[in-house]
Amino acid sequence: MQSKSLLIAVAAFALTATGVHAYGGSVLSRAGLSEKQVSAIQEAQHLRQEGDLKAARDLLAEAGITEEVLMSIHQAAKEVRSEMRQALIDGDWEAFKVATEGTSLGDSILDEDDFKLFQEAHALRMNGEWEEAADILEEIGVDVDKKYHYQRKVRKGFLDQLSDEQRAALQVARQANDRATMQAIFDEAGIVNRG
């Protein structure tokens, strides 16, 4: 049986502009989504913007957006991130372009100079220098939520109390800014105070 929080997160994922944009193009192709499923995700986004959540969720169910589909999207995104990280480590601009093709990051990092700045920002993040990294990312046109970077440092600990499934669902709910789903996930995990 599928967990309630993950099923809610499936709908939340498909309904977010961020989810559709960030996991667009090549990632959705890698995940093996049918044209019907991609179309359903886009239509569900439109329905959500109009406030018709029930119709959006019904549409997703009819298109076969399931836990397995969500996991395949996450796996495809994970592969892209892995290829991107390896390109960063290797300093390989060409491999980075291939890995990020069709993603919002690929749309922001347009040339080798941007790539070098992105490498610099990545190194800063790895050293815990979140604000400095965010400044560089903003400079090259990468959408950055500085508040998120601060909160990530402060509140990282409670995530260890969640299962992998709950963390995946929480990530999707956060992208959708779906506080009710996030609270349901915390309740399911027995987390009372998140700091």
Q: Is there a domain that residue 119 lies in?
A: no
Q: Is there a domain that residue 69 lies in?
A: yes
Q: What is the distance between the alpha carbons of residues 37 and 65, in angstroms, rounded to a whole number?
A: 7
Phi, psi at residue 25, to the nearest 5°?
50, -120
pTM of the predicted model, to two decimals? 0.58
How big is the CA angle at 101 (ends 100 and 104), to the nearest 5 degrees? 70
pLDDT mean across residues, the chain: 77
Q: Count CA atoms closer than 13 A to 186's CA, side-chain side.
A: 15
Q: Is there a domain that residue 125 lies in?
A: no
Query: What are the contacts of 78-81 at 24+ separation with CB within 8 A?
Result: 79/30, 80/26, 80/27, 80/30
Q: Is there a domain that residue 16 lies in?
A: yes
Q: Is there a domain that residue 128 lies in?
A: no
The 10s digit of each residue's pLDDT in 133-167 is 888 988 898 877 655 544 454 445 567 677 778 88
Looking at this protein, which amino acid is placed at residue 79? E
Quick one: what percent of the chain has pLDDT higher than 90?
Answer: 12
Q: Which domain holds residue 104?
A: 4-108+145-189
Looking at this protein, which amino acid is placed at residue 22? A
Q: What is the distance between the alpha carbons of residues 182 and 184, in angstroms, rounded to a whole number?
A: 5
Q: Is there a domain that residue 122 lies in?
A: no
DSSP summary character for residue 103: S
Contact residues for 114 (Cβ-Cβ < 8 A; gap 6+): 108, 140, 141
Cβ atoms of 39 and 192 within 8 Å: the answer is no
User: Residue 131 corresponds to which tokens in the numbers above?
Assistant: 């604000």
Q: Is there a domain that residue 130 lies in?
A: no
30-44, 101-115, 153-167: least confident range? 153-167
* pLDDT value for 195: 47
Q: Is there a domain that residue 173 lies in?
A: yes
What is the total count of domains within the chain? 1
